[in-house]
């Protein structure tokens, strides 16, 4: 297991309770779990919940966790996703060691189990087509009807199934079904399909197979073959549990894993289904799977979320069976907490306004050495040059300041962070627009030297013009404007709920020269502005691009409050 700190050792959710009981009673000596993604898309924050649970539980109880690709559908799967998924899990801080497996590793064993079921009279070859099968299946209120092929003999079934495997039949002409109960109130038990013919190449087994097992048949048996003790999955599989157990009991499975369901994670103002994420990517509503607005693990990473923040989030939301619609600020708060501890501080001016300090010597440069982090002296210092001409943020100056405005205004004073107190004496306009401020400074107020009797409430950030570096900054907002995209009206396309203002690009920012050393994915706190990450795809040393990871404070709580005052 990896060396990350697991701080959820004291978690007491219902799954850990069951596991503790199973260990105490001696039912299991070692806990085995698995994380079983289907390689038909990249991982999202919902998967992180499952990864954190499966690997977390294994680590906590000194067991192990398989990283298993559930690759039974050759049509939808793609090798490109496999590498991405492994990268994402590794990045999140988890290590499967030697235990990287695929459902397709077990195709031969699964086929043998299928023959065993036929031998025992527990499976039959169905020759109705999909439409006819559906018609006989019944509904939630009406029982299904037996297929005429249900009475085939074991010999006939065996011959047909072998011919299916041998490639003698066309796609859709036959399937293998479990023989359970067509009148079961649980539709999953109405003779579910176990195998179908698919004459397509599989990304791992190539053309070795033309029959492929279905999920329900594959999953439990793969669990059993790996010695999984607790098969943890999301609630939509609850109705499949009787089938999961039935299959394991009908064949000579090496062990009987226990399936336990928990609720899926949903985040308001986002979508987490792979089908929808694929649509966003394919129709180019976003720049790709790793678009910083996507709640995919690669998107969050590119946005600047540290893996530790995602683990903290998973810990905080916990595990239960109740609906799990989480507010985005819970996730954002985790990023703030983590980044407050780890992100170096710098100054960056997003909307520059020129300030000339008229009484500062013309060709002089001073160098300040502020700490990179106020609470972590071991992070060292950086060199911050100061000169006669600086930029401040346009937002930090008001011609007609409202009461209690503590930043710069005509005739008013403000402290430049780490430098001096300046006073604004003159405002220069061009075509009615403010283009420059003329200020004077007070030499006695050099940072660290307390000037007597001087009360200056405001502190603002700045950069020296001559030493500053240009940068582009991307401010992100939620990708969707509605809390449950496409939900309230089933006819409504979730794309209609896309937030048209989910990104604002500010191209003429000025940042302090320490950022020239920044590497892709480094995250900084731009003082007073927020946390920003060097974009791993677009940023170059000569043209820096930053993604805003998160604001310093939760600005949405306030907005929501204004929109829904009853909350």
Residues that bind ligand ATP (CB under 6 A): 36-38, 46-47, 49-50, 233-234, 264-265, 272-275
Region of residue 528 (left: phi > 0; alpha: psi -120 to 50; beta: else) = left
Judge whether 38 counts as a catalytic residue. Answer: yes
For ligand ATP, give the closer residue by CB, 270 or 468: 270
For ligand ATP, give the closer residue by CB, 223 or 338: 223
Q: How far is the CB of 270 from ligand ATP (least distance, A)?
A: 10
CA distance 88 to 52: 12
| Active-site option among 76, 90, 264, 528 | 264
For ligand ATP, give the closer residue by CB, 268 or 354: 268
For ligand ATP, give the closer residue by CB, 46 or 144: 46
The string of DSSP letters for 147-172 reads: -GGGG--HHHHHHHHHHHHTT-S-TT
Q: How far is the CB of 81 from ligand ATP (least distance, A)?
A: 9
Which helix (H) or strand (E) segment holds residue 278: the answer is helix 274-282
Give all strands of the β-sheet with 345-346 in edge-to-edge order: 345-346, 523-526, 530-534, 544-551, 469-476, 503-511, 348-349
| Active-site option among 122, 179, 204, 274 | 274
Nearest to 72 by CA among 34, 109, 107, 22: 107
Strands (E), 271-341: 324-326
For ligand ATP, give the closer residue by CB, 103 or 533: 103
Pairing of strands 459-460, 523-526: unpaired
- Name 299's Cβ contacts closer than 8 Å, sequence gap at least 6: 289, 290, 291, 292, 293
For ligand ATP, give the closer residue by CB, 133 or 248: 248
The string of DSSP letters for 455-468 reads: ----EE-EEETTT-
Q: How far is the CB of 319 from ligand ATP (least distance, A)?
A: 9
The number of C-alpha atoms within 13 Å of 370 and in the hemisphere containing its C-beta is 23
* 436, β-bridge pairs: 354, 428
For ligand ATP, give the closer residue by CB, 163 or 275: 275
Q: How far is the CB of 272 from ligand ATP (least distance, A)?
A: 5
Judge whether 264 counts as a catalytic residue. Answer: yes
CA distance 61 to 491: 46
For ligand ATP, give the closer residue by CB, 232 or 511: 232
Q: How far is the CB of 37 from ligand ATP (least distance, A)?
A: 4
Nearest to 132 by CA among 162, 175, 167, 163: 175
For ligand ATP, give the closer residue by CB, 65 or 475: 65
Pairing of strands 469-476, 503-511: antiparallel
| Active-site option among 38, 156, 315, 327 | 38
- The answer to whether the CB of 40 falls within 8 A of the CB of 78 is yes
Three-state SS string over 121-148 comes to CCEEEECCCHHHHHHHCCCCCCCCCCCH
Q: How far is the CB of 215 from ligand ATP (least distance, A)?
A: 9
Backbone angles phi, psi at 515, to 5 degrees: -75, -10
Q: How far is the CB of 32 from ligand ATP (least distance, A)?
A: 15
Per-residue DSSP letter, 417: T
Residue found under tokens 């999920």: 215
Token code pair at residue 351: 């909307």
Q: How far is the CB of 415 from ligand ATP (least distance, A)?
A: 47
Q: Which residue's CB atom is positioned nearest to ligand ATP?
A: 46
CA distances from 471 to 104, 457, 468, 546 (A): 48, 29, 10, 7
Nearest to 473 by CA among 368, 349, 341, 331: 349
* 408, β-bridge pairs: 397
Q: How far is the CB of 447 from ligand ATP (least distance, A)?
A: 49
Q: How far is the CB of 237 from ligand ATP (least distance, A)?
A: 7
Nearest to 371 by CA among 342, 401, 345, 339: 345
For ligand ATP, give the closer residue by CB, 243 or 414: 243
Q: Hey, which residues are catalytic here?
A: 38, 264, 274
């Amino acid at each position: 297991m990896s060396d990350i700190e697991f701080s959820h050792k004291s978690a007491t959710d219902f799954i850990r309770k069951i596991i503790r009981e199973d260990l105490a009673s001696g039912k299991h000596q070692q806990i085995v779990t698995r994380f079983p993604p289907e390689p038909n898309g990249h991982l999202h924050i919902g998967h992180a919940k499952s990864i954190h649970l499966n690997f977390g539980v294994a680590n906590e109880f000194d067991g192990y966790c398989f990283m298993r690709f559930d690759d039974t559908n050759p049509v939808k799967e793609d090798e490109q996703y496999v590498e991405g998924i492994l990268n994402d899990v590794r990045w999140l801080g988890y290590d499967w060691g030697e235990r990287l497996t695929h459902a397709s590793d077990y195709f031969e064993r699964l086929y043998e189990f299928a023959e065993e079921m036929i031998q025992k009279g527990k499976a039959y070859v169905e020759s109705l087509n999909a439409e006819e099968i559906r018609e006989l299946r019944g509904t939630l209120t009406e029982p299904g009807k037996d297929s005429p092929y249900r009475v085939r003999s074991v010999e006939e079934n065996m011959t047909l199934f072998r011919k299916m495997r041998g490639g003698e039949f066309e796609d859709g002409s036959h399937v293998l079904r479990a023989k359970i109960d067509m009148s079961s109130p649980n539709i999953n038990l109405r003779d579910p399909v176990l195998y179908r013919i698919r004459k397509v190449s599989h990304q791992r087994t190539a053309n070795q197979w033309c029959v492929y097992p279905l999920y329900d048949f594959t999953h439990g048996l793969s669990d059993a073959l790996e010695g999984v003790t607790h098969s943890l999955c999301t609630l939509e599989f609850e109705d499949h549990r009787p089938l999961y157990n039935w299959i394991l009991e009908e064949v000579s499975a090496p062990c009987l894993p226990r399936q336990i369901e928990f609720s899926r994670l949903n985040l308001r103002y986002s979508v987490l289904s792979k089908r929808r994420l694929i649509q966003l990517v394919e129709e180019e509503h976003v720049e790709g799977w790793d678009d910083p607005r996507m709640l995919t693990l690669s998107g969050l990473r590119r946005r600047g979320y540290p893996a530790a923040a995602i683990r903290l989030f998973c810990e905080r939301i916990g595990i239960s069976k109740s609906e799990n619609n989480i507010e985005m600020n819970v996730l954002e708060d985790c990023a703030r907490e983590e980044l407050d501890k780890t992100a170096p501080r710098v100054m960056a001016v997003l909307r520059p306004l020129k300030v000339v300090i008229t009484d500062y010597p013309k060709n002089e440069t001073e160098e300040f050495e502020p700490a990179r982090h106020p609470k972590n002296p071991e992070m060292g210092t950086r060199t911050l040059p100061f000169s006669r001409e600086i930029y401040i943020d346009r937002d930090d100056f008001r011609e007609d300041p409202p009461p209690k405005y503590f930043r710069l205004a005509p005739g008013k004073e403000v402290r430049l962070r780490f430098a001096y107190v300046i006073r604004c004496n003159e405002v220069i306009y061009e075509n009615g627009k403010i283009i420059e401020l003329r200020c004077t400074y007070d030499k006695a107020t050099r940072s660290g030297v307390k000037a007597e009797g001087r009360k200056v409430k405001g502190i603002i950030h700045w950069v020296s013009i001559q030493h500053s570096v240009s940068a582009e900054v991307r401010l992100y907002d939620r990708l969707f404007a509605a809390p449950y995209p496409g939900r309230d009206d089933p006819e409504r396309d979730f794309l209609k709920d896309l937030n048209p203002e989910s990104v604002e690009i500010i191209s003429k920012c000025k940042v302090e020269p320490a950022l020239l050393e920044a590497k892709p994915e480094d995250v900084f706190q731009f003082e007073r502005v927020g946390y920003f990450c060097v974009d791993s795809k677009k940023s170059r040393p000569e043209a820096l691009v930053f993604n805003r990871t998160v604001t310093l404070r939760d600005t949405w709580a306030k907005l929501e409050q204004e929109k829904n005052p009853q909350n």
